[in-house]
Structure 1
Amino acid sequence: MNADQLLRIIEEGESDRIEFKRCGNQPEKDLFETICAFANTFGGTILLGVEDDGSLTGVNSAQVLPVTRNILNVVSNPNAFDVPVSLEFEHIEIDDRQIIKVDVPNSPQMHSYKGKVYERRGDTDIVVRGSAPLAELCIRKQGIYTEQRIFEHVSLDDLREDLIDEARQLALAKRKDHPWGAMTNEQLVESAGLFGKDYSTGKQGYNLAAVVLLGKDEVIRSLCPAYKTDALVRQHDTDRHDDRLVTITNLIDAYAQVADFCRKHLPDRFLMEGDFAVSPRDTIVRELVVNCLIHREFTSPFPAKVIIDNEGIRTENASRASFEGPLEPDTFSPLPKNPLIASFFVHIGLAEELGSGTRELFRNSRLYTGRDPELEEGLIFRAFVPTVPAAEPMGGTSDRYDAQAKNADEASALALKLAENCGGMRTADLVGAGVSRRTAQRIIGELVSQGLLVPQGNGPSRVYRRTRE
């Protein structure tokens, strides 16, 4: 990494993946708390010699190697770290100041520092306390599918047979020769993987997927007490809500209830595809609600939420994520969260193959408003689809500019115009004009390398000015 690349990172400030630390002759204790937190969450980068406000103090050049050795000794010390952490170091010089860049990869193991387990939440390192949060962390690290948890004392009588038959009819409506049509209820449930055996313990019976898909309400409440979905409308009463739906029933009925609630409160805009009228709204509702219901981590106490406000519709649900950050339709690699539940929804026609839902969401959001959705993976999966159509830019630099609906040339022209008219542009100015942060950083880097912009200053005060031709 060169100095310019590092300065662009510093300019963006601290985040869930970036931490600034001052450093004297010895690293501070909180450095190791951050290392532990990054390793336990999604990894991250620590910059030693950078203040919280982004100003550069640097590390004494004579202390760079001793500090690096000290860090390695501590993370390898079993009395400090329960399970050592692997690190990568890079030394970068900026204006005669030495910065130590420490990269902490996401670890497949759970780490503790001096008896405490740390996790990264936002730009803060927190101590993970309590059996439930620790169990969540272990589940995420070990890649356990909690939907496969066996309940030996659940019987077919604890499932709703009318719901099993409804699932059969939905499957037959999608495919007339579906094998579920010739099966008994018990055979159907077993063929869907909802009755299984844990070969490590010998337990066999119906699993958590069977309970949340087909269970009676009282059974769901008993075995999955934290499970609920909260749908809110906040368009007039933004402090509380205009309308609300709370559902704790099985996933099939929950989907129908929440989807109907969303359709009731979202405007419909029919469009023609060939000779057929289509409703982007209905597809958006289906994909958002299905994702919120079937890809959640059911052992988490965090309730799934669907919120409709004046900007759009957004969802939140606990996730067993393997990384944190935005999802793009052309670059993301879909990972199953609850493969049995997802497969069941595919059989009954409420979901498609893994990954296709994200692409459908992007396509229909563009049809609905001309704008892209925002999807962010993490411990909490967040999705947002705007319901307000993109406004046409009026030519002024203060107008909202939808970079995702424009090409890179237009966004670059906007960057140059901002830099010229304002006498100096920050990344935040381009983001404030509507360009996504990722696109803004890429465009500025390209313009600097082309010699069209020149950076001045360091940290948050860094600006980019037009070069004189």
Structure 2
Amino acid sequence: MNQKQLKELIKKGESQELDFKRTPENIGKDICGFANTNDGIILVGVSDKGDVIGTTDKKEEAVANTAYSLDKPVYPEIEKVKVDDKLVLIVKVKKSSELHTYKGYGYRRVGSTNKPMALEELVKKAQELGIVKFDSEVCNGATLEDIDKKKLNWFLSEAKHKRGLEIPENTSVKEALMRLNLSRDGKITNAAILLFGKNPQNFFLQCEVKCIRFKGTDVTGRMIDMKIISDNILDQLKKAEDFIFEHIPLAAWIEDMKLQRQEKWQYPPKVIREALANAIAHRDYTSVSKVQIRMFDDRIEFWNPGLLPEEITTVDLRKKHKSIPRNPLIARHFFWVKYCEEVGTGTNRMIKRCIGWGIPEPDFEQITGDFVLTVARSKLTDELLERLNDRQKNLLEYLKEHNKITKQEYMKLTGISKTHAFRDINNLVENNIIKMEGSGRSVHYILKESVPNGPKKDRKRTEGK
């Protein structure tokens, strides 16, 4: 940074990313605050009002020593620039992936100040960074009497059958919890109570799933049904799953030359199971919010308290990504009974299954502290497909096989004029059935979602639940 750039920086004044210090005294709070919150720059030798006072070369060592004195050392980049013959130290601090404290206090950057973090904030920050895991902490007040032995035995049997877990069903509760890493020094963990507790809500009131079926496509619609599910989290998943299947249609039809009727749920059952497992296993159990399942005429929303880990974005969920479970003990036990996988491929499988089912890819969002996964029904309803002409229907079948088509290719395949081709294609675009990609001569069209395979006109169709 040169003198001109430094002057421009000083003009901006103190902010979330910039702090002024006359001397390095108490600079540890600033370094700690930036390391815990966001990248920041500290200018040593500048007053709070932005006047350049200057400092000495010796102060560089004082800054470095202070940064090193944090409970977990920070190594800022220190640059020296002179403004009107007065030396300014430019101390650049990167946001850290660790939790830092200075003289026994954790600090976070709030605007142009550094605020000491309350104990609850420190614990939550440690959990977010994976330093402390909620599910592995000891559950205060819990004893072996709070564990449902029948549920534990069911788990041991199911895990042996599904994944080959080698813990006999007749193993004592104490030994089973120890071998499952669900106890610490003989004390029961939060995960043990959530998974196998007789009454987990006695310890964690927020440990519930709220299921709502709305009429229409908005939360302002009338509630057709609502259920709050308590119990242990293994049973919560099953009961929430039952609620969903009570409220989605099952299409059934008879095909020629087949004795049994064919059936298909509106949404892929394995996607519903995976979405529920993710919401329950990866939620933030320190939040007072519940897991919510919101069902509408055209979609299901799975609301999970807690955001994604900082290393992962919603875009990452659509490609290969590493697995960073918020509650690794819970995720591990869901894995044992095949409620979920551990390898960071769950969202990829959901995308693939939705496409194969003929519905849009699931949507991933982060909204007001919650992670929201949405599974929507196909926009290509039978009613919409019936309004298409034969050329357009053939075009959709062509795209299923060849993935894309140009307007010229469509004209050649159908033998129609440019005007008719434009009209056919534009109609499909307006109805959100296909979309245009590319520009200029590379323009082509692809399906916006898979064309569903289902009952055809010559099949007998029934609807049920």
Contact 2:354 2:360 in 1 (8 A): yes
- Whole-angstrom CA distance in 2 between matches of 1:369 and 1:383: 21
- Whole-angstrom CA distance in 2 between matches of 1:85 and 1:244: 53
State yes or no: 1:156 paired with 2:118: no
Identity in percent: 16
Task: Give 1:416 deviation, angstroms.
Answer: 8.5
Distance 1:382-1:127 versus aligned 2 partners, 3 A rule: farther
Distance 1:352-1:331 versus aligned 2 partners, 3 A rule: closer
Which residue number in structure 2 is paired with residue 285 of structure 1? 272
Amino acid at match of 1:117: R
Aligned ranges 1:251-400 → 2 under 5 Å: 251-268=233-250, 281-314=268-301, 315-319=303-307, 321-323=309-311, 325-326=313-314, 327-376=316-365, 380=369, 382-391=371-380, 394-395=425-426, 399=430
Task: Give 1:378 deviation, angstroms.
Answer: 9.2
Secondary structure of 1:365 counterpart: helix
Distance 1:193-1:377 versus aligned 2 partners, 3 A rule: farther
Contact 1:361 1:373 in 2 (8 A): yes
- Please give the per-residue CA displacement for 1:265-286, whole angstroms capped at 9, x wherever unaligned: 2334689xxx997755211110
Amino acid at match of 2:226: R
Which residue number in structure 2 is paired with residue 179 of structure 1? 166
Which residue number in structure 2 is paired with residue 108 of structure 1? 98
- Whole-angstrom CA distance in 2 between matches of 1:336 and 1:415: 46
**Alignment counterpart, residue 133 of structure 2, candidates 124, 145, 149:** 145
**Alignment counterpart, residue 207 of structure 2, candidates 200, 217, 227:** 227
Aligned ranges 1:161-172 → 2 under 5 Å: 161-172=149-160
- Please give the per-residue CA displacement for 1:101-133, whole angstroms capped at 9, x wherever unaligned: x99645423589x9963479xxxx998975434
Distance 1:115-1:349 versus aligned 2 partners, 3 A rule: closer
Aligned ranges 1:392-411 → 2 under 5 Å: 394-395=425-426, 399=430, 410-411=436-437
Which residue number in structure 1 is paired with residue 12 of structure 2? 27
Amino acid at match of 1:333: K
Which residue number in structure 2 is paired with residue 94 of structure 1? none
Distance 1:355-1:138 versus aligned 2 partners, 3 A rule: closer
- Whole-angstrom CA distance in 2 between matches of 1:414 and 1:128: 57
Amino acid at match of 1:328: L
Secondary structure of 2:194 counterpart: helix
Contact 1:170 1:348 in 2 (8 A): yes
Task: Give 1:307 deviation, angstroms.
Answer: 1.7
- Whole-angstrom CA distance in 2 between matches of 1:371 and 1:109: 40
Aligned ranges 1:197-216 → 2 under 5 Å: 197=185, 204-216=186-198
- Whole-angstrom CA distance in 1 between matches of 2:139 and 2:326: 20
TM-score (norm 2): 0.58
Contact 2:320 2:344 in 1 (8 A): no
Aligned ranges 1:415-454 → 2 under 5 Å: none
Question: Which consecutive residues of structure 2, in runs of 5 or more, have no partner in the other structure?
Answer: 1-7, 20-29, 42-53, 55-59, 80-91, 254-259, 381-395, 397-423, 450-465
- Please give the per-residue CA displacement for 1:412-454, whole angstroms capped at 9, x wherever unaligned: 2499989xxxxxxxxxxxxxxx89xxxxxxxxxxxxxxxxxxx
Task: Give 1:29 deviation, angstroms.
Answer: 2.5
Secondary structure of 1:29 counterpart: coil
Distance 1:78-1:339 versus aligned 2 partners, 3 A rule: same
**Larger radius of gyration, structure 1 or 2?**
2
Secondary structure of 1:328 counterpart: helix
- Whole-angstrom CA distance in 1 between matches of 2:288 and 2:129: 18
Contact 2:156 2:169 in 1 (8 A): no
Which residue number in structure 1 is paired with residue 219 of structure 2? 238
Secondary structure of 1:316 counterpart: strand
Amino acid at match of 2:201: R
Contact 2:292 2:304 in 1 (8 A): yes
Contact 2:109 2:115 in 1 (8 A): yes
Task: Give 1:316 deviation, angstroms.
Answer: 2.4
Amino acid at match of 1:299: T
Contact 1:336 1:354 in 2 (8 A): no
Secondary structure of 2:226 counterpart: strand
- Whole-angstrom CA distance in 2 between matches of 1:366 and 1:140: 33
Which residue number in structure 2 is paired with residue 456 of structure 1? none
Distance 1:352-1:333 versus aligned 2 partners, 3 A rule: closer
Contact 1:45 1:103 in 2 (8 A): yes
- Whole-angstrom CA distance in 1 between matches of 2:245 and 2:33: 41
Distance 1:167-1:312 versus aligned 2 partners, 3 A rule: same
- Whole-angstrom CA distance in 2 between matches of 1:294 and 1:145: 13
Amino acid at match of 1:160: D
Secondary structure of 2:279 counterpart: helix
- Whole-angstrom CA distance in 1 between matches of 2:192 and 2:270: 26
Contact 1:228 1:246 in 2 (8 A): yes
- Whole-angstrom CA distance in 1 between matches of 2:13 and 2:441: 40
Distance 1:173-1:136 versus aligned 2 partners, 3 A rule: same
Secondary structure of 1:353 counterpart: coil
Which residue number in structure 2 is paired with residue 57 of structure 1? none
- Please give the per-residue CA displacement for 1:272-328, whole angstroms capped at 9, x wherever unaligned: xxx997755211110111001011222222332222234422222224723352133
- Whole-angstrom CA distance in 1 between matches of 2:93 and 2:379: 39
TM-score (norm 1): 0.58
Amino acid at match of 1:344: H
Task: Give 1:224 deviation, angstroms.
Answer: 2.3
Contact 1:160 1:216 in 2 (8 A): yes
Distance 1:295-1:378 versus aligned 2 partners, 3 A rule: farther
- Whole-angstrom CA distance in 2 between matches of 1:379 and 1:134: 21
